[in-house]
Amino acid sequence: MTKYAIIVAGGKGLRMGSDLPKQFLLLAGKPVLMHTIEAFHQYDSEIEIILILPKEQQNYWHQLCHEHHFKIKYSLADGGETRFHSVRNGMNLVTKPGLVGVHDGVRPFVSKEVIARCYELAVAHKAVIPVVDVVETLRHILAVGSSETVDRNAYKLVQTPQVFDSDLLIQAYQQEYTPRFTDDASVVEAMQVPVYLTEGNRENIKITTPFDLKVADALL
């Protein structure tokens, strides 16, 4: 069965307060995005990696690959107007039936165990996402100046990779875009397909702020 990993890296670094897109920031002397790609290559050296980057960032990425002697093979697709459109562009490169995992380019600390579990479970469940528990108190905003505590045990925090049967994901991305599509699971759910939850790893943070980068340094 063919396994694909679509790595979505379309960030602009606005919340990072940097002119350099967050996926290109250095972590232990190497761009964050390279760490992320290596995580999937270490899981399975035969996995077909599809990297999605905005067209205007691709030349710089090629320059970084040359500077860091980055040799892992991948296919490249152009980023789109939204994450939905970016992933849809990447799905055009999925040419054989199998499993497709979609992962954030700025989540370099996903564990090999989580990647493996998501792909293994997707064989039977067709749509699998990793989640972790909510550990802080949540409040629901009812109106201006009004809120209430909600049961945090009724909620989960969603991570990536989100892994799907390839035929299912191809069909899902033929739908018209809506702002409700915030991740791949929401796209699949719009077809009334249930999504299976599995345990993620707490270290699998999404690096979007300067604080996140400090945490990432500490993790390394």
Q: In 3-state terms, what secondary structure has residue 151? A: coil
- The 10s digit of each residue's pLDDT in 146-166 is 999 999 999 999 999 999 999
Total count of domains within the chain:
1
- To the nearest whole number, what is the mean pLDDT of the chain? 94
Question: Dihedral angle at the C-alpha atoms of 147, 150, 152, 154, nearest 10 degrees?
Answer: -140
pLDDT of residue 13: 43
pLDDT of residue 10: 78
Residue 31 pLDDT more than 80?
Answer: yes
Name which of 12-21, 44-53, 60-69, 91-100 the model is least confident about.
12-21
pLDDT of residue 20: 85
Q: What is the pTM of this model?
A: 0.94
User: 108 with 217: CB under 8 angstroms?
Assistant: no
> CB-hemisphere CA count at 13 Å for 185?
19
Chain centroid, CA 69 distance in Å: 24
CA distance 150 to 87: 33
pLDDT of residue 16: 45
Tell me which H or E stretch contains 85.
Answer: helix 83-91
- The 10s digit of each residue's pLDDT in 177-189 is 999 999 999 999 9
pLDDT of residue 97: 97
**Which residue range is the domain that position 54 belongs to?**
2-219
CATH classification of the domain holding 128: 3.90.550.10
